[in-house]
């Protein structure tokens, strides 16, 4: 799919489909306005009216998208684009032109970047295992021209790069755990390094043992799949300190000895979506060639019950030297992240953000709309929240107070790996905060946003838009 900018009048576009917008059942074009009234079209957000052979238009058909009430909001615009993408594909449109529209508080760069990203992401298709989809071109949109007063297509390329990163994240998340193993994630990182000339290092179990990563290795020892610690670095800004993203990569989480219920356990293949999101973000940033230094670190394991698996009550020693009483083996994500958070000190980071499908409690707190953000630096939290609002990939801040940290006390170690039933998302972050005291750090809990269940089950690609927007803002 290719995107371009044009100052051509939309009536003169002679391709398959011209796309217009309507607000409050009105349109700037008199012919379209009359047809809206004749068809009793309600221009609510996400509605669409398809017209054929419209007088004065060269295009074969005209699609009119409802944008709801004025002033038009970013959310209603994105909702309209998602509706458009589905209808363009079902109508087998190969080339289309989208009319210019004003969105309250949004400039043209945002419009261009968002339009390209949303449309390309909306036509993403889940790839079935063992099925070659390369020949499936029936519903492929080839060219989309966007009416604009600018000829700078830079932001269009950025939007496509973000969508490509989301596609990688979604694909990795959707793969079954017998395919997407820690070794597979390592190979994915190595392939990205080769494609974009990145620096890649993969630590094996023996390397991690030598570094004293007893917490991480306690999770993987019950599985036949060998653990990996992956780092991937992009250098676009000389000797500047890097932004470091750490992504939780539990490729399947059975819960270990604290076994999860069987219903819905198949979705625990998505417990590596933090890892998938940082790999997708790296792909987007490397494709954009931003003037920024970025390093991603992925601790990746499989959590399985076995005769040698960790047991509730075991005590392990992390890379930092702090000891941990494992009260629940299903609280394993923090056990691999804590050693990764100690490891990243070697990169002398400007800032560290970890991304993890860490707690079911965040879904109870925030549902499926916002990811949870907690940080030891308020400016960092504010920057991530702002980036999320800009990218429409939102985050909501939760507290990180000392009173919650006290719930992690243990009689037998420096800390327990859980803090009880209350405030589970916050106590998980408090646990991680103990390993991130030497740098600016934030934690994103994406358990509610990384995938959807039901008939449309699949990875969402979030929070790649939030993370890439945060990095874009730093690269200015």
Which candidate in 260, 368, 389, 440 is catalytic?
260
| Other residues' Cβ atoms within 10 Å of the Cβ of residue 179 | 12
| Other residues' Cβ atoms within 10 Å of the Cβ of residue 349 | 22
Q: Which of 300, 336, 330, 301 is nearest to 221 (CA)?
A: 301
Q: Which of 355, 376, 351, 353 is nearest to 445 (CA)?
A: 355
Active site annotation includes 260: yes
User: Cβ contacts of residue 82 below 8 Å, gap of 6+?
Assistant: 46, 118, 122
Q: Are 246 and 354 in contact (CB under 8 A)?
A: yes
Beta bridge partners of 93: none
Q: Residue 44 is encoded by which pair of tokens?
A: 């609510």
Helices (H), 130-256: 154-174, 182-196, 205-210, 214-220
Indicate left, alpha or beta for 212 from its phi (over 0: left) and psi (-120 to 50: alpha).
left
User: Cβ contacts of residue 137 below 8 Å, gap of 6+?
Assistant: none
User: Cβ contacts of residue 59 below 8 Å, gap of 6+?
Assistant: 13, 14, 15, 16, 17, 18, 97
Degrees, nearest 5: CA angle 253-308-340: 50
Q: Are 37 and 83 in contact (CB under 8 A)?
A: no
Gap between the Cα atoms of 353 and 340, Å rounded: 11
Degrees, nearest 5: CA angle 191-285-352: 100
Gap between the Cα atoms of 296 and 411, Å rounded: 35
| Other residues' Cβ atoms within 10 Å of the Cβ of residue 6 | 16
Gap between the Cα atoms of 220 and 201, Å rounded: 19
Which candidate in 334, 434, 462, 474 is catalytic?
334
Q: Which of 175, 115, 191 is nearest to 146 (CA)?
A: 115
Active site annotation includes 334: yes
Three-class SS state of 393: coil
CA pseudo-torsion sign 321, 322, 328, 331 = negative
Q: Catalytic amino acids?
A: 260, 334
């Amino acid at each position: 799919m290719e995107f371009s900018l044009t100052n051509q009048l939309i009536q003169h576009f002679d391709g398959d489909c011209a796309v217009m917008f309507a607000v409050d059942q009105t349109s700037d074009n008199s012919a379209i306005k009359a047809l809206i009234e004749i068809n009793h079209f309600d221009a609510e957000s996400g509605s669409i009216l398809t017209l054929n052979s419209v007088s004065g238009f060269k295009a074969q058909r005209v699609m009119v998208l409802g944008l709801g009430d004025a002033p038009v909001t970013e959310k209603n615009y994105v909702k309209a684009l998602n509706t458009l993408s589905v209808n363009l594909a079902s109508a087998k449109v190969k080339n289309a032109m989208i009319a210019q529209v004003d969105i309250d508080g949004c400039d043209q760069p945002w419009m261009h970047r968002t339009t390209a990203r949303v449309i390309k992401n909306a036509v993403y298709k889940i790839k079935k295992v063992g099925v070659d989809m390369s020949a499936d071109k029936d519903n492929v949109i080839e060219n989309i021209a966007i009416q604009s007063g600018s000829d700078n297509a830079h932001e269009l390329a950025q939007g496509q790069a973000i969508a490509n990163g989301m596609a990688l994240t979604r694909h990795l998340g959707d793969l079954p755990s017998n395919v997407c193993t820690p070794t597979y994630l390592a190979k994915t990182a190595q392939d990205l390094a080769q494609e974009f000339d990145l620096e890649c290092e993969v630590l094996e179990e023996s390397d991690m043992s030598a570094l004293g990563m007893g917490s991480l290795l306690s999770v993987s020892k019950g599985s036949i799949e060998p653990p990996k610690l992956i780092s991937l670095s992009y250098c676009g800004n000389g000797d500047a300190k890097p932004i470091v993203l750490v992504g939780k990569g539990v490729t399947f989480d059975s819960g270990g000895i604290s076994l999860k219920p069987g219903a819905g356990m198949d979705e625990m293949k998505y417990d590596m979506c933090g890892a998938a999101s940082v790999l997708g973000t790296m792909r987007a940033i490397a494709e954009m060639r931003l003037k920024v230094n970025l390093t991603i670190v992925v601790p990746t394991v499989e959590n399985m019950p076995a005769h040698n698996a960790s047991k509730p009550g075991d005590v392990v020693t992390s890379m930092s030297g702090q000891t941990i009483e494992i009260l629940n083996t299903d609280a394993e994500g923090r056990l691999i992240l804590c050693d990764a958070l100690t490891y990243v000190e070697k990169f002398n980071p400007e800032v560290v953000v970890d991304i993890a499908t860490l707690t079911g409690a965040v879904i109870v707190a925030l549902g499926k709309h916002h990811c949870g953000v907690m940080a030891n630096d308020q400016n960092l939290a504010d920057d991530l929240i702002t980036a999320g609002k800009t990218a429409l990939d939102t985050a909501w801040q939760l507290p990180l107070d000392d009173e919650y940290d006290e719930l992690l006390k243990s009689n037998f170690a420096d800390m327990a790996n859980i803090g009880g039933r209350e405030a589970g998302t916050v106590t998980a972050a408090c646990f991680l905060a103990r390993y991130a005291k030497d740098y600016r750090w934030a934690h994103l809990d994406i358990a509610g946003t990384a995938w959807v269940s039901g008939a449309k089950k699949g990875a969402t690609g979030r929070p790649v838009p939030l993370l890439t927007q945060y990095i874009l803002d730093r690269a200015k």
